[in-house]
Amino acid sequence: MQFGSFMEFHCRPGESQAQSFSESFEQVDLAEELGLDAVWLAESHFSPARSVLSSPLILAAAIASRTKRLRVGTSVHVLPLGNPLRIAEQAATLDHVSGGRFDFGVGRSGLPGAYEGYNIPYGESRERFYEYLDIIIEAWTNERFSYEGKYFSFDDVCLVPKPYQSPHPPIRIAATTPDTFPVIAKMGYPVFIGVRGQGMSQVAEQVEAYKKAWKDAGHEGPADVSLRVPVFVADTREEALNVPEESFMKQFRRLGAQLASSVTRAGTDPREQRAERGEELAGLTWEEVQKEKVAVGTPEMVIEQLHKMQETLSLSGVVAELNAGELIPADKISRSLRLLCEKVMPAFK
């Protein structure tokens, strides 16, 4: 199983934006030193109290230039917020800068805030996402191409450079709604999943639908499922349960509030049950969260929890969110990352 770190380049109360960049780059350097497989970069807009990571491809290039073996991915690049041909150029350039260490994780975001800031209708996000992805792949895999779509059209253009990896960087798509899983499987792409907004049993059903659609489509090899999940590893059980509680619970309550407030926003889909999911998240206790929405404990405890998640969700990878909620001290994050790499990862390799 592959192990990565989910990074938001988080902001801390009272610290400058420059300090946010500095702390996160120190975590990247430690991940390179400790042998972590990858870092995965979020994309966050208009949230000064949370993150400075609005330009993931630029930061991915910076990370690639200061590392030698660490893979760097986006988790996720919100495709409908940009120009697909421009994204294709930048991502292909990054693939060269990294020497083929780039993974292209993409999605459309489950929240409308960034779309409203960019003045793009959220109701168009699904259509735009698939059109943009088609354009990017056409640009990467053809010497020249033309395209006539609903939102973009191109006539006999040649993308330069073509990606370093052939035929292009690995693509992984985030999925949160039941109808999305079979679609991604039929397209033949690996998937990102999470257990924040839904229970493990619900996500397991979605993964089974993904695996069935993958098999029915005749794709070679097993389905590829990667889980983003808050993780905190400590030397003692007491520390592991106490240190991340406030921070991790802040993350779940914030997501619950965001889902609830988005119910009446333009473009949201009633089938996504945002009100119900938001209410459930708002009412969670720390004890309930520990059961299936996080992996916290000593190395032995986290190994056991991740083995359960791996078996239930057919996981091929884990993307550990080491500072969900932005409140965990930097030294505790570093210790957690060290224990994850030195004590937990070997049990899955």
Q: What is the pLDDT of residues 328-343, one digit of tens each?
A: 999 999 999 999 999 9
The one-letter code for the residue type at 150 is: K
- Rg of the chain taking only CA atoms, in angstroms: 19
* C-alpha–C-alpha distance, residues 243 and 264, integer Å: 36
- Summarize pLDDT for 275-308 with one digit per residue, the tens: 666 677 778 999 999 999 999 999 999 999 999 9
- Summarize pLDDT for 78-87 with one digit per residue, the tens: 999 999 999 9
- The answer to whether residue 271 scores a pLDDT higher than 60 is no
Q: What is the pLDDT of residue 127?
A: 96
Residue 139 belongs to domain with CATH number: 3.20.20.30
- Summarize pLDDT for 210-245 with one digit per residue, the tens: 999 999 999 999 999 999 999 999 999 999 999 999
Distance of alpha carbon 4 from the chain centroid: 10
Q: What is the pLDDT of residue 35?
A: 98
* C-alpha–C-alpha distance, residues 74 and 5, integer Å: 11
Domain carrying residue 261: 2-348
Tokens at 82, concatenated: 């940009």
- The answer to whether residue 266 scores a pLDDT higher than 80 is no
How many folded domains does the chain comprise?
Answer: 1
pLDDT above 70 covers what percent of the chain? 95
